[in-house]
Amino acid sequence: MKKQALSVFYMFLITLFFASLVSAVKVLSEGKIQLNEAIKQQRIILRVLQIPVNDKAPDESVIRLFDMRVKAIEGGQKTLYVGYEEDGQTVQGYAFPVGGSGLWGPIEAMVGIDPQATKILGLAFYGHSETPGLGGRITERWFTDQFTGLPLRPIEGDQNIFYLKPEGTAEASNELDAITGATITSSSVEAFLNKELDNFLRNLWGQIERTK
């Protein structure tokens, strides 16, 4: 009996010690981790608004650039980011988050559009759980750069804003290359991105125009 009690006590002590150690480390690094998240988001927003930021730029310069050129407007469900040109007055573009389901989990992306909502300025993915090397390639520049310059208009009938076609077969101006070997991820992205863009043009854009 005594031996058992001793074991339990020992276990309790050890657990307490290590749990405290882990908690201490967590608390100490929490600030840094949140900062990393925020900066990552800021970099993405700057990128899709075509505001150049060096990948190797230190965090402070990213924060300064963001504060100077972007303003965030909370809109209930979504946050709208307004990007300004260097004069700080003229609107360079708008950015907003979009999301949908991929094959393995939610995919999150940021879309940047020009001030008249006629075309896409940039697209970047910042969250996904797709297969590395296959679906995971949606984050690669060659894929997202395709979207820059894509004309925007609401979905008419069954005419999507854009289509993802097998690599090498894209012909029309609204056909882009899908990712070879990542059929489901590609079709998921096509599906939710079209829907989100259409949704934005029909609903949110009207509100933005009215407040201009």
Partner 1 sequence: MDYINPVTLFFAAVFTNNILLTNFLGLCPFLSMSRQKRSAVGMGAAVVFVMACTTALNNLVHYKVLVPLGLEHFRYIVFIVVIAAFVQLVEMTVERFFPALYFVMGIFLPLITVNCAIFGASLFMVIRKYDFVQSLAYGAGSGLGWMLAIVAISAIREKLEKTAKLPRGLEGPAITLIITGLLALAFLAFSGMIRVQ
Partner 2 sequence: MPGPASKKEVFLTGLWKDNPVLRQVLGICSTLAVTNLMVNTLVMDAGLIFTVCMSSLTVSLLRKYTPMRIRMMVQTLIIASYVIIVDIMIKAYLPDISEALGPYVALIITNCIIMGRAEAFARHNPPLASFIDGLGMSLGYSLVLIAIALVREPLGFGTLLGFRVMPEGFVQWTVMIMAPGAFLTLGIMAWVWKYFWPQKEEKKG
Owner of token pair 């290359």? 177
Tell me how far the alpha carbon of residue 130 is from its chain's centroid.
Answer: 14
Cβ at position 183, least distance to partner 1 in Å? 5
- 155 CB-contact burial (10 Å; exposed 0-12 / middle 13-18 / buried 19+): middle
Q: Which stretch binds partner 1 (CB under 8 A): 42-50, 56-64, 100-108, 168-176?
A: 100-108
Q: Is 166 in the site for partner 1 (CB under 8 A)?
A: no
| C-beta of residue 207 within 8 angstroms of C-beta of residue 76 | no
In angstroms, the CA 135 to CA 145 distance is 16
Is 39 a binding residue for partner 1 by CB under 8 A? The answer is: no
| Residue 121 vs 179, nearer CB to partner 2 | 179
CB of 15 to partner 2, least distance (A): 6
Q: Which of 161, 188, 189, 200 binds partner 1 (CB under 8 A)?
A: 188
Q: Taking CB under 8 A as the rule, does residue 20 contact partner 1?
A: no
Q: Which residues bind partner 2 (CB under 8 A)?
A: 3, 6-7, 10-11, 14-15, 18-19, 21-22, 25-26, 29, 32-33, 36-37, 40, 132-134
Please name the residues in contact with 154: beta carbons below 8 A apart, sequence gap of 6 or more: 198, 201, 202
Separation in Å, CA 186 to CA 101, 105, 166, 177? 11, 14, 10, 9
Residue ranges that bind partner 1, judged by CB under 8 A:
19, 22-23, 26, 99-101, 103-106, 129, 131, 134, 181-184, 187-188, 191-192
